[in-house]
Structure 1
Amino acid sequence: MKQTMQDEFEADYCAHAHRLPALVKNCRLSNGSYGDPCIAKAWHWFKRSREMLVVDLPTVGPSPEPPDDAIDDSFLDAHHAKIRMRNGCFMAIKAAGITIAGESN
């Protein structure tokens, strides 16, 4: 099961504030905030810390030109691997709630 940013916050908050997870979950309002002022303030600053963190992913670059003795497109394998790696990093960073430079949220 994939943990959302808010679930991650709640688990960390419970561990450090010595609160029961059920108590924190029950304080969550329908708009995603919390009825308890201490939890609401911690959630606000947790989100702000994620917003302020910006990752600059390198670009992949243009496709390479085929060599003169190419008999197939295997020379593109490394290029396609770079694209897949960058896309995987992009999705993981976005799922963590972190901003990527040059991308709109």
Structure 2
Amino acid sequence: MSLREQFEAAVIARMKESGFLEVEIRVECLGRSGGGYSDGSVDAYWHFWNESRSVVVVEMPPAPAEPEEPECAIDDSHMDAYHAAQRMRNACAKAIEAAGLKVTP
């Protein structure tokens, strides 16, 4: 779910608690205007939602050190765990960024 979809789902959930119908919310409150919303309050909420996400930074654990070549290695299998750890770390970073948060190496 994108950052905007998360925001709009939160707005819809909150406004439904106040008795509004989802179709009303989508038409009257979530109408787009440029990069924001035509409703001034919702546009301000969108701005602050983005600001709140921009200051959160997730620090990743250090990347694994590349192992040294074993002296009697027959193949590259000793590198499998290293490459698997790198792929997992990269996938985690992408998932965190997809949630709208920043990642430091």
Q: State the TM-score, normalizing by the size of structure 1.
A: 0.82
1:22 alignment partner in structure 2: 26
Q: Which runs of 5+ in 2 are unaligned?
A: none
2:93 alignment partner in structure 1: 90
1:5 alignment partner in structure 2: 3
* Counterpart-to-counterpart distance in 1, 2:38 and 2:89: 39
Q: Secondary structure at the match of 2:37?
A: coil
Q: Aligned pair count?
A: 98
Deviations 1:42-87 (A, max 9, x none): 1111111110110011232331012222111101111001110111
* Counterpart-to-counterpart distance in 1, 2:64 and 2:86: 9
Of the three residues 22, 31, 54, the one matched with 2:57 is: 54
5 Å-filtered alignment, 1:23-42, equals 23=27, 24-25=29-30, 27-29=31-33, 31-42=34-45
Greater shift in the superposed pair: 80-89 or 16-25: 16-25
Q: Which runs of 5+ in 1 are unaligned?
A: none
> Does the alignment pair 1:68 with 2:71?
yes
Shift of 1:90: 1.2
Greater shift in the superposed pair: 63-72 or 6-15: 63-72
* Counterpart-to-counterpart distance in 1, 2:75 and 2:85: 19
* Counterpart-to-counterpart distance in 2, 1:87 and 1:101: 12
Q: Secondary structure at the match of 1:63?
A: coil
Q: Could you tell me whether the CA contact under 8 Å between 2:53 and 2:100 is conserved in 1?
A: yes
Identity across the alignment (%): 38
Structure of larger gyration radius: 2
Which of the two has greater strand per residue? Answer: 2
| C-alpha RMSD of the superposition | 1.6
